[in-house]
Amino acid sequence: MSTPGETAGETVESAREMLPDNSFLIQYPHVSRVVRSLFLTAFVAFGIGAFMGVLQALHRTGIARIVASSDYYTLLTLHGVLLVIVFTIFFLAGVFTWANTRSLDRPPVSKRFTWFWVVTMSVGSAMAGIAILAGLIPSIGMSADVLFTFYAPLQAHPLFYIGLAVFIIGTWLAGIDWFRQYLAWRGENTGERIPLQSFMVLTTMLMWFIATMGVAVEVVVFLIPWSLGIVPAPNPLLTRTLFWFFGHPVVYFWLMPAYLLWYTVLPKIAGGRLFSDPLARVVFVLFLLLSTPVGIHHQYVDPGIAEGFKFIAMTNTMFLLLPSLLTAFTVVASIEHGARQRGGTGYFGWLKALPWRDPAFTGMTLAGLMFAAGGFSGMINAGMNINYLVHNTIWVPGHFHLTVGTAVALTFMAASYWLVPRITGRELYSRPIGLFQVVLWFVGMVFMSAAMHRGGLAGIPRRTAEPQYPQVTFETVAGSVGSLRLQLAFGGVLLFVSALLFLVNVGLTAMNNEPARGLDSALPPALSGPEQSPTVLDNLKLWALIAVVLVILAYSLPLYSIVQGAGLYPPGQEATPAVLAPLLEVIA
Amino acid sequence: MSRLSPAALLIVGAFMVPLFIELPVVLSFVGVELSMTASLGIGVVAFTLVLIWSEISEKPEAADA
Ligand code: HEM
Ligand SMILES: [Cu+2]
C-alpha cells in the first residue's frame, strides 16, 4: 500500500525490491515490458470489440437499435477483426514471448528486432482499424465493411488490405524472433530436448507460416491491386478458397496458446504436474500436420469445388478431433493429480479439493468445459450432410463463441489474472471480482450461445441486422422465437458486463502499488517426462516438411480446377454495388 | 457456519444455469412442453433450496465445525 507523499514511481521501485530474484520481472524486465505493451493493445481491442458485441446482440434481436441498420456491417467488421485478429493475436504474441523466454531461460536475441515486430503488428492493426472505423463517417469516403472474412467482391479501402498485410508480416517477424531465440539456445544445448513451452511456440509458428501463405497470396496478389484499381475483380471462389486455406488454421493459432496455458500453467495452479509431456508434444505435432489441409470444410456449399475434395477435407477434419480429445484427457488427468496432491479423494470427491476460488483456475476450467460443448457443435458443422442444416445461420456464431469466444478468450482472461502480476510485479487488484467475472462470462455465454444454436436450427440467419421477416415464421424446437431473442440479448449484456469487470480489474492491477506475492513461475516437471518419448518428436524440420506435403496434396487439385473453371479474373466481376444493381432492378 | 462458501455457491449456481436452459429442449424430445420462463423459475427455486440447505445446518454442533 502506498503512503502519502510517496510518488507512484518510488513505490514501484520499492515494491520491485520486494520481488524474489527468480521472478520473471526481475530476471527479464525488458521482455516483461514487451509483453505488457502487447497485452495493452490486446485489451483495448477486446474492450471495443466487446462493446460492438453487445450493440449487435441488442440490435439484431430488435431490443435496442442504437445505430442505423446500414451501419451494422461496420460494427460487425470491427467486432470480428478486433476480437479474432487483434485481441487474440496480440495476447498470444505476449504469451509466446513470455513462454519462450521462460522455458529457454534467455531473452530474445535483439531488443531492437523485438520492438520492430511489435511496432509492425501495431501499425498494421491501426491501419485496418482506421479503415473500418472511417465507415461510420461517410464524409471521409473510406470504408471496409467487409467483415473479418473480406470475401470479394465485397470491397474495402486499400488501407484495410495493406494494414492486414503489414500485420501478417509483423507476426512472421515475431515467429522469426522466437526461432532465433531457440537457435541461440540450441547452440549452447546440443542434444537436449526442446523445453516444452518453447516446443509449443515453435510448432505453432511453423503451422502459422504455412497457413498464412494462403491469405498472403490472396491479399497481396489479388485484393490490394484490385482495391487500387490496377487489376479487375478476382475470381470469388479462388479468393474464398485462399482465405479458408488460412481461415481454418487460424482457429488453431488462437487455440494452441490456450492449450499451452492448459498444459503448462493450469496443472501448476491446480497444485499438480502435467500428466504427460510426450502426449503434449504429439498433440502439437498433430495440429501442425492437420490444421491446414481442412479449410475446404468451410466451403461445403460453395459451387465449383468437387464433392470429393470436400469429402477429403471432412475426413481430415474428423482426424483433427483427435488432438483435442487427447488434450481433454491429459489436462483433466493433470488437474486430478493436482487435486489428489492437495488431499482430494474419491471418484468425484477430488473435485472439491481444487482451487475454485482462484479466478485463473476456475476461468480456465470453465473455458475448457465450454470448449467441450463447442467441440460437439463443431462436429455438426464439420459433417458435410448436416452442415447444410446450419450453414450461415446464427448457429455458427453460437458455435464459435464457445470456441474462440470462450475456450480462447476466457482462458486468456483467466491467464491474465496469473500472468499480469508476473509481468508487472503488482498484486492482482481483486480475486473475488476476478472469480465473479469469469463465472459471469460462463453464465452469459450459456445464455447467448444456447439461444444462437437454437435460433440457427430454426433457420435464423447470421450477419443480419434485422432478421425479422413478415412473410416467414421461424419454427423453434422449444420455446418461442421471442424468448430466444431475449435470451440472446440478455446473455450478450452479461458478457459485456463481464468484459468490463475484467478490464477494470486488470487496469486497477496495473496501477496497484502492492507488490505481487508468490511469483514463482517455474513449472514442475511432467509426471511422464520428455525422456520417455522418441526424439523424432523434436525433429521440427521433418514435421514441417510433412505438413507442407499434406497441404500440397489437399489444395493443388482444388486450386487448379478453380482456376481452370472460371480463370483468375472472370469477366463481368465488379465490386459489390455494381453486382447488386441488376438484382435490385429485378426486385424493384 | 454455512456448508458452502460464497465462492462455492457461485460455482454451483453457475453449473445449474446450462441445466435449466436446456431442460425445455430435452423435455421437448419426449413431447413435454415447458416454457423457458417456467424452466428458469424452477432453476431459481432449486438454487434457493441449495442456498437454504447450505445456510441451515440441522446439527447444532456443525455450527462450529
Ligand atoms: C461481449 C461479448 C460478446 C458479444 C455480446 C458478442 C455478440 C456477437 C453477436 C450477436 C454476433 C452475431 C452477429 C451477426 O451474425 O449478426 C457476433 C459475431 C461474432 N463474434 Fe461476438 N460477441 C462477443 C464476444 C466475442 C469474442 C470474445 C469473440 C472472439 C474472440 C467474438 C467473435 C465473433 C466473431 C468472429 C463474429 C462473426 C463476425 C462475422 O460474422 O463476420 N465475439 N458476436
Ligand atoms: Cu474450420
The pLDDT tens digits of the residues spanning A199-221 come to 999 999 999 999 999 999 999 99
| Domain ranges, ordered by start, for chain B | 6-55
The answer to whether the CB atoms of A439 and B14 lie below 8 A apart is: yes
Mind listing the pLDDT tens digit for each residue in A508-543? 999 999 999 878 778 888 999 888 788 899 999 999
From A54, A55, A56, A371, mutation site for ligand 1 pocket: most ligand atoms within 8 A of C-beta: A56
The per-residue pLDDT for A2 is: 38
**A17 exposure class (CB count in 10 Å sphere: 0-12, 13-18, 19+):** exposed
Cβ–Cβ of B18/A477 closer than 8 Å? no
pLDDT of A577 strictly over 90: no
How far does Cα A421 stand from its chain's mean position?
A: 23
A454-503, pLDDT tens digit by residue?
Answer: 999 999 999 999 999 989 899 888 888 999 999 999 999 999 999 999 99
Contacts of B60 (CB under 8 A, 6+ apart): none
Q: Are A233 and A226 in contact (CB under 8 A)?
A: yes
Tell me, what DSSP letter sits at residue A539? -
Residue in A251, A219, A102, A119 with CA at minimum distance from that of residue A174: A119
A404 lines ligand 1 (CB under 6 A): yes
Mutate to test the interface with B, among A441, A483, A495 (most CBs of B within 10 A): A483
**Contact criterion met (CB < 8 Å) for B21 and A443:** no
Q: Any alpha helices (H) in A105-223, and if so which ranges? A: 111-133, 158-188, 196-217
Cα distance from A450 to chain B (closest Cα, Å)?
8
pLDDT grade for B56, boundaries at 50, 70 and 90? confident
- State the distance from the centre of ligand 2 to the C-alpha of A96, rounded, in angstroms: 23
Closest chain A residue by Cα to residue B27 = A478
Closest residue by Cα to residue A447 from B6, B30, B35, B14: B14
pLDDT beyond 80 at A248: yes
| Ligand 1 neighbourhood includes A48 CB (under 6 angstroms) | no
> What average pLDDT is seen over chain A?
92
Determine how many CB atoms are found less than 10 A away from the CB of residue A466. 12
- Catalytic residue among A240, A273, A297, A462, which? A462
Which residue's alpha carbon is at the smallest distance from atom 36 of ligand 1?
A: A80
Least confident of A81-90, A227-236, A565-574: A565-574
Structure confidence by residue, pLDDT tens digits, A46-60: 999 999 999 999 999
Cβ–ligand 1 distance for A186 under 6 Å, the answer no
Quote the ligand 2 centre to B50 CA distance (angstroms): 41
The angle, 0 to 180 degrees and rounded to 10, between the axes of the packed helices A277-290 and A540-566 is 20
In the reported structure, the alpha carbon of residue A80 is separated from the centroid of ligand 1 by a whole-number distance in angstroms of: 6
Neighbours of A571 (CB within 10 A): 8
* CATH superfamily, with its number, for domain A34-587: Cytochrome c oxidase-like, subunit I domain (1.20.210.10)
Task: Return the pLDDT at A246.
Answer: 97
The closest CB to that of B36, out of A366, A443, A483, belongs to A483
pLDDT for the residue numbered A530: 87
pLDDT at B65 over 90: no
**Residue A30 is a catalytic residue:** no
- Long-range (24+ apart) CB contacts under 8 A made by A317-324 are A317/A382, A318/A379, A318/A382, A319/A290, A320/A286, A320/A287, A320/A290, A320/A291, A320/A294, A321/A375, A321/A379, A322/A286, A323/A282, A323/A283, A323/A284, A323/A286, A323/A287, A323/A290, A324/A371, A324/A375
Span A142-163, pLDDT tens digits: 999 999 999 999 999 999 999 9
Ligand 1, atom 18, lies closest to the CA of A397
Active site residue A399: yes
Query: What is the structure's pLDDT at B1?
Result: 62
**Identity at A295, one-letter amino acid code:** G
Question: By alpha-carbon position, which residue is closest to atom 40 of ligand 1?
Answer: A463
Q: How far apart are CA A61 and CA A65, in angstroms?
A: 9
CA of A247 to the centre of ligand 2 (A): 7
How far does Cα A515 stand from its chain's mean position? 31
Can you read off the three cell numbers belonging to residue A120?
509492425
Q: Are A481 and A455 in contact (CB under 8 A)?
A: yes
Handedness of CA A312, A84, A224, A228 (dihedral sign): positive
- Global pTM reads 0.93
Contact A362 B24 (CB under 8 A): no
Distance CA A584, CA A320 (A): 43
- Give the angle subtended at the CA of A400 by the CAs of A59 and A136, to the nearest 5°: 40
Question: What tens digit of pLDDT does each residue of B22-49 get?
Answer: 999 999 999 998 988 999 999 999 999 9
Q: What is the pLDDT of residue B4?
A: 83
> Measured from the CB, is residue A148 less than 6 Å from ligand 1?
yes
Q: How many degrees, rounded to 5, is the angle at CA B52 between CA B47 and CA B54?
A: 95
Q: Where are the domains of chain A?
A: 34-587
- Shortest-distance Cα residue to atom 22 of ligand 1: A53
Q: Is A548's pLDDT higher than 90?
A: yes
Residue among A69, A147, A401, A404 whose CB has most ligand 1 atoms within 8 A, to mutate: A401
Rounded average pLDDT over A107-130: 97
**Whether residue A13 has pLDDT greater than 90:** no
Contact B21 A487 (CB under 8 A): yes
Contact A493, A54 (CB under 8 A): yes
Best mutation site among A55, A59, A83, A147 for ligand 1, i.e. most ligand atoms within 8 A of its Cβ?
Answer: A83
Answer whether A399 contacts ligand 1 (Cβ < 6 A).
Answer: no
Facing B21 at nearest CB: one of A356, A435, A447: A447
ipTM for the predicted complex: 0.89
What local confidence, expressed as pLDDT, does residue A4 receive? Answer: 41
Interval A366-423: pLDDT, tens: 999 999 999 999 999 999 999 999 999 999 999 999 999 999 999 999 999 999 999 9
- A213-248: buried (b, 16+ CB within 10 Å) or exposed (e) per residue? bbbbbbbeebbbbbbeeeeebbbbbbbbbbbbbbbb
- Band of pLDDT at residue A571, cut at 50, 70 and 90: confident
Confidence label for A587 from pLDDT (cuts 50, 70 and 90): low
Residue closest via CA to ligand 1's atom 6 equals A53
